[in-house]
Chains A and B, each alone.
Chain A
Amino acid sequence: GDSVTQMEGPVTLSEEAFLTINCTYTATGYPSLFWYVQYPGEGLQLLLKATKADDKGSNKGFEATYRKETTSFHLEKGSVQVSDSAVYFCALPVFSGGYNKLIFGAGTRLAVHP
């Protein structure tokens, strides 16, 4: 069945370091792909998305490219800030028999230190 696999955390970085959080997926067809972020004590917010293969989603300095060859959607940022400390979730919509839901990876906690 459809699934999302994320790299395990926590990821601990110093400010201005380069960030990569890996995400791979298994899906039927070519669904949209999402990265959501959850800041401490809050709900989830959409960070970025890509709706078709080879699309690059970007927001707040984060980027992710939808790569169908490797079934991946890795999240990257060139220079992280303390304010980026949060849990990041890769997500995939599943449409089956008229049903519609979003499935999430396990989440990767990022801690950025000054």
Chain B
Amino acid sequence: EAGVTQSPTHLIKTRGQQATLRCSPISGHTSVYWYQQALGLGLQFLLWYDEGEERNRGNFPPRFSGRQFPNYSSELNVNALELEDSALYLCASSFYTSSNTGELFFGEGSRLTVL
């Protein structure tokens, strides 16, 4: 069974440009999470989508946005890129139910470099 897949693996942009990152969850998973891992720092929660809706977002400015498609894949968009947006962006998926223990399945990440 395929795991969580992310694309692109690496992306280089310049300040002010827009970046789009994509994620395909594990088959059957309806929830997709996005995390930012800046160099030397831990994981910061960005966004959670479930059943096509944004359910929660972390403490990030509105230029970080995304969406979830009917097939549960997701896109993360970062507008007006700044140098500090350079990071590894990790996508994770889960099957969300009220009894979910909270385990997430992660992709290998997309490394965004802003020059």
**Interface residue ranges, A against B (CB under 8 Å):** 31-32, 34, 36, 42-46, 49, 51, 89, 91-93, 95, 98-107
Say whether, besides A43-B108, A106-B42, A49 and B101 are in contact (CB < 8 Å).
yes
Pick from A42, A43, A93, A101: contact of B101, CB below 8 A.
Answer: A93
Secondary structure at the A interface, as helix, strand, loop or mixed, is strand
**Interface residue ranges, B against A (CB under 8 Å):** 4, 6, 31, 33, 41-43, 45, 48, 50, 55-56, 90, 92, 96, 100-109
Pick from B43, B102, B107, B109: contact of A31, CB below 8 A.
Answer: B102
Pick from B48, B56, B92, B103: contact of A49, CB below 8 A.
Answer: B103
Least CB separation from A97: chain B residue? B56
| Contact A44–B42 (Cβ < 8 Å) | no
Pick from A36, A101, A105: contact of B45, CB below 8 A.
Answer: A101
11 further A-B pairs in the complex, CB-CB below 8 A; given A46-B105, A98-B55: A31-B102, A42-B109, A43-B6, A43-B106, A43-B108, A95-B102, A99-B48, A100-B31, A100-B50, A105-B42, A107-B43
| Contact B107–A43 (Cβ < 8 Å) | yes
